[in-house]
Amino acid sequence: MQTEIKFAGFGGQGILLSAKLLAYAAMKQEFFVAWVPSYGPEMRGGTAYCTVVISDKRIGSPIIKNPSHLVAMNRPSLEKFAQDVKPGGVIFINSSLIPTRSGREDITELIVPVNDIAAKAGSIRAANIVALSAFAAKAKIVDLEILKNCVKDEFSAKAKIIPLNMKAFDEGVRIAENSN
């Protein structure tokens, strides 16, 4: 079993962090993992994407042209990467910022207004956690409790924002479980 996930959006959306958390959760489940970030020179607002490869065997190459899944946090990312996703994969669409769909019939679309959900949870900065948990719940790649603990661990130095991120995580899971 090998699966590849591309997280994509603009700098400042927590793209690299989301991918890192998924990679950590997979590592805790004793999978082989590769995490390959890519971002423009801008600190915020530039393009950012990251590929995570998860496998039960050694990973031959972390460079993937056709990922199994895509988490698109903005429209340019959806337009650029949606056609690369393998048939049967999941394309996650942040409908707060993306008014269109992938146009594909051979994949599962998960459409979630993550910015709106994060704002209701307490901060738009938790949008990446909503997206991560919703995607993980839909794709069923890692154990959700392990992933949730990875989120807690990541924010352990900022304990006062853990409740916000746990609320965002739970809302993402709830939305995914209630989708088609």
- At residue 88, what is the residue type? G
pLDDT bucket at 179, cuts 50 / 70 / 90: confident
pLDDT tens, position by position, 133-142? 999 999 999 9
For residue 122, is pLDDT > 60?
Answer: yes
Q: Which CATH class is domain 2-177?
A: alpha beta
Per-domain boundaries in the chain: 2-177
Give pLDDT tens digits for 65-94. Answer: 999 999 999 999 999 999 999 999 999 999
Distance CA 178, CA 117 (A): 14
Q: What tokens appear for 31 in the block?
A: 């999978």
Sign of CA dihedral 103, 75, 37, 143: negative
27-59 residue pLDDT tens: 999 999 999 998 766 556 677 899 999 999 999
Average pLDDT of every residue of the chain:
94
68 with 58: CB under 8 angstroms?
no
Beta strands, E only, 45-175: 47-55, 69-72, 90-94, 108-112
Span 133-152, mean pLDDT?
97
Q: Looking at residue 155, what DSSP letter applies?
A: T
* Per-residue model confidence (pLDDT) at position 43: 57
The answer to whether the beta carbons of residues 169 and 161 sit under 8 Å apart is no
As a 3-state breakdown, the chain gives helix, strand, coil percent values, each rounded to 5, of 45, 20, 35
Contact 36, 51 (CB under 8 A): yes
Whether 112 contacts 95, CB under 8 Å: yes
For the segment 9-28, the average pLDDT, to the nearest whole number, is 94
Residue 155: Cβ within 10 Å count: 17
Q: Considering Cα of 19, then 149, then 111, then 66, what sign does the dihedral take?
A: positive
pLDDT(120) > 70 = yes
Between helix 162-177 and helix 144-154 the angle, nearest 10°, is 160
Q: Where are the beta strands (DSSP E) in the chain?
A: 2-10, 32-39, 47-55, 69-72, 90-94, 108-112
Nearby residues of 57 by Cβ (< 8 Å), 6 or more positions away = 2, 32
